[in-house]
Amino acid sequence: MALLLTLFSNVTLAAVQVLQLGRAQPYDLLAYSNADQLRPELAERAVVIVHGVRRNALDYYAGAQQLLANAGLGGPAVLLIAPNFLSADDSPATDAMPLWPKDRWMQGSESSAGRRGIATFSVLDDLLAYLADSRRFPRLKEVVLIGHSAGAQLMQRYAVLGKAVAGLPVRYVISSPSSYLYLDANRPTPTGFAPLPGKHCPGYNQYRYGLEQPPAYLVSQGLDAKQLFRRYAARNVTYLVGERDTHATSRIMDHSCGAEAQGRDRVERQLGYLRYERFVSRAWAVDIAHRQFVVPGVGHNAAQLLASPQVASWLFPSER
């Protein structure tokens, strides 16, 4: 892996690394990884974990280490990467990196400073393409993409909108996002699903909550909603949310009209979205079988959720 900078942390045994990604438009991406401690040719699984709104990738790296330890995974067979989606105000940022306005990265937006015009979705595409290169990682068998909170907002949308990477099995783990991307105008109601009344919430079906006014990344693919759902349904997706993540007035939860239309809190919104998947599956005759787990005793806390033994067994059952 091309590195411009390597600084080691004694606490997490992580290296701060600047990855060089992109072909047509090369750029740098700050990440925490154990890559320097591995022989790349021995890696069999890559785990990529995306931070929350605070952009604290090192904390998420440490949380993922605990998850892997609980699953009995480690050593040279597991490559762990925690990318950092930075803003221009963050001290590690450089002009060679794509930089986003604070939390805009989490909806897949294009960078507006540094290397401009690079969508967060494209960064994930480039990272997957790098990992899929058998010359670098000849034994790599799968990639597990994990996002929590704001990182899960990005990951849920990427699970729906992300381009396929040939020859590399990918699993998507979506943990406790504030909102979800719906594929039509229907939203949860007490009795099922229905569009919102016209004047109740103008724009509730616009991106990032729906497919109206879609991002350029999606437009370039030329896919309609049914085609997106068919591709998404075929993907290996697991949803997680803490049992106690029910604080409806949390200041770090999305309270926009478009988000409130999906439910009162993160538990309700996630369970509602899984019901929506089944609703669309029946309406469009597309089978879907994504997994969903409620994590006992956990609120909106990434460290606690990732440290849960149940989460390790759900995500890596064959390793235990």
Find the helix packing angle between 150-161 and 120-131, rounded to 10°. Answer: 70
Residue 14 has pLDDT above 70, yes or no: no
| 96 close to 118: Cβ distance less than 8 angstroms | no
Q: All domains of the chain, ordered by start, with CATH?
A: 3-314 (3.40.50.1820)
Nearest residue to 252 via CA among 152, 128, 165, 157: 152
> Hey, CA dihedral for 182, 183, 184, 186, is it positive or negative?
negative
Least confidently predicted of 6-15, 27-36, 51-60: 6-15
CA distance 265 to 299: 11
pLDDT at position 8, please?
Answer: 33
User: Which phi and psi (to 5°) does residue 92 adopt?
Assistant: -80, -5
| 61 close to 49: Cβ distance less than 8 angstroms | yes
pLDDT at position 10, please?
Answer: 36
DSSP E strand stretches across the chain: 3-9, 14-21, 27-33, 45-50, 78-83, 98-99, 113-114, 142-148, 170-175, 186-189, 192-195, 236-242, 291-295
User: Which phi and psi (to 5°) does residue 184 adopt?
Assistant: -150, -170
Least confidently predicted of 5-19, 70-84, 116-130, 227-241: 5-19
Residue 1 has pLDDT above 60, yes or no: no
Cα 167 to its chain centre, rounded Å, is: 20
Q: What is the DSSP string of 144-161?
A: EEEEETHHHHHHHHHHHH
Residue 286 has pLDDT above 80, yes or no: yes
Top pLDDT among 5 and 113 is at 113
Q: Give the total residue count for the chain.
A: 320
Q: What percent of the chain has pLDDT over 70?
A: 95
Q: Scanning the structure block, which residue is given the tokens 């239309």?
A: 261
Residue 4 has pLDDT above 50, yes or no: no
Q: Distance of CA 290 to CAs 63, 118, 239, 310, Å?
A: 24, 30, 8, 18
CA distance 51 to 59: 8
pLDDT at position 178, please?
Answer: 98
| 245 close to 267: Cβ distance less than 8 angstroms | yes
Q: What is the pLDDT of residues 226-262, one digit of tens each?
A: 999 999 999 999 999 999 999 999 999 999 999 999 9
pLDDT at position 320, please?
Answer: 56
Average pLDDT in the chain:
94
- Any residues with CB less than 8 A from the CB of 71 and at least 6 apart, and which? 312, 313, 315, 316, 319, 320
- Strands 14-21 and 27-33, by their bridges, are antiparallel
pLDDT at position 2, please?
Answer: 37
Q: What is the pLDDT of residues 183-207, one digit of tens each?
A: 999 999 999 999 999 788 999 999 9
Query: What mean pLDDT comes out for the span 41-64?
Result: 97
CA distance 32 to 118: 20
pLDDT at position 200, please?
Answer: 83
